[in-house]
Amino acid sequence: MKRVVVIGGSGFFGGLIAERLAAAGLQPIIASRSRGELRIDANNPEDLRNNLKGRDLVIDAAGPFQKRTPALIEAARTIGFDVIDLSDSPEYTAMVYERQAPIQAAGIRVLTACSALSTVSAAVLKSVSVDEPRRLSAYLVPASRYTANPATVASVMASVTGSLQTFQFPRPLGKRTGIAVRSVDAVTLPRVFPSLKSAELAVDLRIPGMNAVLMGAARWPGVAVLMDLFQPTALGLAHLIGSRSGVLAYEIATAVGNKYRIFSGEKSYLLAVIPAIHAAIAIAEGRFSRRGVVAATEQVEPNQLFDAARKEGITTIAG
* Exposure string over 72-95, b if 16+ CB within 10 A, otherwise e: bbebbbebebbbbbbbbbbebbeb
pLDDT at 1: 67
Residues of the chain with pLDDT under 50: none
Task: Map out the domains of the chain with their CATH numbers.
Answer: 4-115+270-313 (3.40.50.720), 117-269 (3.30.360)
pLDDT at 131: 79
| Beta strand spans in 101-256 (E) | 109-111, 135-141, 160-168, 175-181, 198-203, 246-254
pTM: 0.94
- CA distance linking residue 66 with residue 263, whole number of Å: 26
Query: Which of 6, 7, 57, 17 is closest to 286 using CA atoms?
Result: 57
- Helices 210-219, 221-229: crossing angle, 10 deg rounding: 130
